[in-house]
């Protein structure tokens, strides 16, 4: 298992600054006004990221094992420099919340020292390269990256696809409202159908579950953000996507597309391949993930009337609850 099995998505755009909208890194949520007619729920503190919702009930054990491995390897890097710094911290005098925050900070530093963010950074570079080309026509990147760009353009042309736009934010009403950044939208020249496309840079697909849910979230989103990331921008209704599959077992079914362009150095980067992803399956995953988020919230609740547990009263003590 390598870093290429995880963290294949490009990080969200820069964080919120005064007077602008964007991603709040401390909360991990998008800070944008609600679309027209949408009333944010009570206690609203931003919109959940689409990728977080898509992975809300996937198997996280392998990922957790990988995170721990990288953190421990990072503690050994640079002759144990980070470990020395950690041991020098007076954590015994800290409150539990302070200890937790500091441990999280050191864990992230250790993972970075072990190269845990290398795959994500290479993936981001390829996302930027594709966006730059389709918005300006200018080719950037290393020689191997440009070879992937050429292969991606050939794959799109061979499939009869034309890029309509790249890098746009969407809002979907699922789970009370989630936001995400779609890599692009394509037109099928033969049928006139329009659909979502995503650049994926992982070496292999550990699972299609999260990807399918993420793409359905983009495809079925009701709103697209247009204009600058401030009060001059606006929400615009997304026209329904219509792309149908043409592969043997997805022919005639609603699909989105993945352009697979692995970023790891060495063989296996070419050719770039276009995959069809079943949106019927993706929608089932997304809805289930949304339900899981709701159930998780109930399970964590401390409100007596909401939490799914209570102390059983002594025998003979009448309860005001009505058995149902």
Domain count, the chain: 2
Non-local CB neighbours of 295 within 8 Å, separated by 6+ positions: none
Cβ distance 147 to 185 under 8 Å?
no
Whether residue 105 sits in one domain with residue 212? no
pTM of the model: 0.83
- Predicted pLDDT at 8: 44
- Predicted pLDDT at 48: 94
Whether residue 180 sits in one domain with residue 90? no
In a domain, 26, yes or no: yes
Whether residue 212 sits in one domain with residue 106? no
Whether residue 167 sits in one domain with residue 27? yes
Cβ distance 175 to 49 under 8 Å?
no
Q: Quick: pLDDT tens for 30-41.
A: 999 999 999 998
pLDDT at position 92 over 50 = yes
Least confident of 62-71, 134-143, 194-203, 314-323: 314-323
Whether residue 244 sits in one domain with residue 169? yes
Percent of the chain beyond pLDDT 90?
A: 63
In a domain, 76, yes or no: yes
Whether residue 99 sits in one domain with residue 176? no
pLDDT at position 239 over 90 = yes
Higher pLDDT, 60 or 193: 193
Mean pLDDT of 178-195: 97
pLDDT at position 277 over 60 = yes
pLDDT band at 18 (very low <50, low <70, confident <90, very high): low
Give, as one character, the DSSP assignment of residue 300: H
Whether residue 275 sits in one domain with residue 204? yes
One-character DSSP codes across 260-292: E---SSSTT--S-EEEEEEHHHHHHHHHHHHHH
Whether residue 24 sits in one domain with residue 168? yes
Whether residue 169 sits in one domain with residue 24? yes
In a domain, 219, yes or no: yes
- Beta strands per DSSP E along the chain: 22-24, 29-31, 47-49, 161-172, 178-188, 194-200, 223-226, 234-237, 255-260, 273-278
In this structure, the dihedral spanned by the alpha carbons of residues 263, 269, 274 and 276, taken in order and rounded to 10 degrees, is -70
Whether residue 52 sits in one domain with residue 86? no
pLDDT at position 195 over 80 = yes
Cβ distance 4 to 262 under 8 Å?
yes
pLDDT band at 2 (very low <50, low <70, confident <90, very high): very low
- Host domain of residue 275: 20-36+47-56+160-293
- Predicted pLDDT at 224: 98
């Amino acid at each position: 298992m390598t870093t290429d099995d995880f963290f294949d998505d490009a990080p969200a755009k820069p964080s919120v600054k005064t007077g602008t909208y964007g991603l709040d890194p401390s909360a991990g949520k998008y800070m944008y006004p609600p679309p027209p007619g949408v009333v944010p729920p009570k206690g609203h503190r931003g919109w959940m990221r689409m990728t977080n919702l898509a992975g809300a009930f996937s198997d996280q054990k392998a990922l957790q094992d990988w995170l721990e491995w990288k953190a421990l390897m990072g503690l050994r890097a640079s002759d144990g420099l980070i470990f020395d710094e950690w041991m020098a911290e007076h954590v015994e005098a800290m409150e539990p919340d302070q200890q937790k925050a500091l441990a999280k900070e050191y864990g992230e530093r250790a993972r970075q020292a072990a190269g845990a963010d290398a795959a994500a950074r290479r993936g981001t570079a390829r996302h930027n390269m594709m966006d730059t080309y389709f918005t300006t026509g200018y080719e950037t990147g290393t020689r191997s990256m440009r070879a992937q760009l050429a292969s991606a353009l050939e794959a799109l042309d061979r499939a009869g696809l034309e890029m309509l736009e790249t890098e746009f934010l969407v809002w979907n009403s699922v789970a009370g409202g989630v936001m995400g950044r779609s890599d692009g939208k394509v037109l099928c020249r033969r049928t006139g159908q329009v659909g979502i496309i995503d650049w994926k840079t992982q070496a292999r697909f550990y699972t299609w579950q999260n990807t399918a849910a993420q793409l359905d979230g983009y495809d079925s989103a009701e709103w697209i953000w247009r204009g600058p990331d401030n009060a001059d921008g606006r929400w615009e209704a997304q026209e329904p996507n219509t792309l149908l599959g043409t592969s043997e077992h997805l022919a005639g079914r609603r699909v989105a597309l993945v352009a697979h362009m692995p970023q790891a150095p060495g063989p296996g980067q070419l050719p770039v391949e276009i995959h069809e992803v079943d949106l019927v399956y993706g929608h089932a995953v997304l809805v289930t993930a949304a339900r899981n988020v709701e159930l998780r919230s109930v399970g964590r609740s401390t409100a007596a009337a909401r939490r799914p547990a209570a102390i059983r009263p002594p025998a003979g003590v009448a309860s005001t609850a009505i058995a149902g």
